[in-house]
Amino acid sequence: MKLHGYFRSSASYRVRIALNLKGLTVEHLPHHLRKGEQRAPDYLKLNPQGLVPTLIDDQGDVLTQSLAVIEWLDETHPTPPLLPADPLKRARVRAFAMAIACDTHPVQNLKVLARLRQLGLPEEQVTAWAAWANQDGLEACEALIAHETGPFCFGDAPTLADLCLVPQLANARRFGVAVEKFPRLMTAEAATKSLKAFADAAPDRQPDAE
Ligand SMILES: N[C@@H](CCC(=O)N[C@@H](CS)C(=O)NCC(=O)O)C(=O)O
């Protein structure tokens, strides 16, 4: 398989963790987002949104959108499972993942911040916007799992929720959010630290890391 991504892309980071947990190796095809390589005509044929990641499977099928890619990986390579078997628990894990992937990450994405700059917002306000988006989203995430048993977001093994949380915490730190004020999220993140699948997926371990 081939993964079109970028070392610092948190959506690519989610997929990298999933691939590692499933024991799957892929060829990494980096696109430098700050140089606009995600908008190259050839790449837009694969991913018309001009976003990473895009996964190409062994048959050459093209898969986009990190959550859809991860669920496809989970269905085609069920061990270890990334979603609980119980439908109610599965809905809660997906809700947590979507709180990050649908409501937090998109409003602090590179192209949104670039648009704010284009509209004349000074750099410190652009950063303040991104920090607020992360702070607001993570605050809700902290509450969503406050009463869930740990140490991971949902129980004693990583799920789709942890795959979304860890990369988002990296973004939050980059924008200066004091994430230590979220004790339940810190417990979940600490649990992932012992797993090689998470360590190997980190941005600074990628071939295109700067
Ligand atoms: N919802 C998409 C988000 C993908 C996305 O926003 N990727 C970012 C990197 S994390 C990107 O490609 N940004 C390029 C840009 O904003 O121009 C997913 O989960 O795959």
Task: Give the pLDDT confidence of 136-171 residue by residue, as tens digits.
Answer: 999 999 999 999 999 999 999 999 999 999 999 999
Class of domain 87-197: mainly alpha
Task: From the CA of 14, give the closest atom in ligand 1.
Answer: 19
pLDDT on residue 151: 98
Pocket test for ligand 1, best of 110, 113, 206 (most atoms within 8 A of CB): 110
Tens digit of each residue's pLDDT (9 = 90 or more) over 16-55:
999 999 999 999 999 999 999 999 999 999 999 999 999 9
Share of the chain above pLDDT 70, in %: 100
pLDDT on residue 123: 97
pLDDT on residue 93: 98
Tens digit of each residue's pLDDT (9 = 90 or more) over 26-37:
999 999 999 999
Tens digit of each residue's pLDDT (9 = 90 or more) over 77-91:
999 999 999 999 999
Cα-Cα-Cα-Cα torsion 162, 163, 168, 171, nearest 10 degrees, comes to: 130
Confirm or reject CATH 3.40.30.10 for domain 2-80, answering yes or no. Answer: yes
Token representation of residue 38: 């995600």
- The ranges of the chain annotated as CATH 1.20.1050.10 are 87-197
Question: Per-residue pLDDT averaged across 96-100, rounded?
Answer: 98
- The ranges of the chain annotated as CATH 3.40.30.10 are 2-80
Q: State in Å: Cα 109 to ligand 1 middle.
A: 7
Q: State in Å: Cα 147 to ligand 1 middle.
A: 31
Task: Return d(Cα 83, Cα 159) in angstroms, integer.
Answer: 6
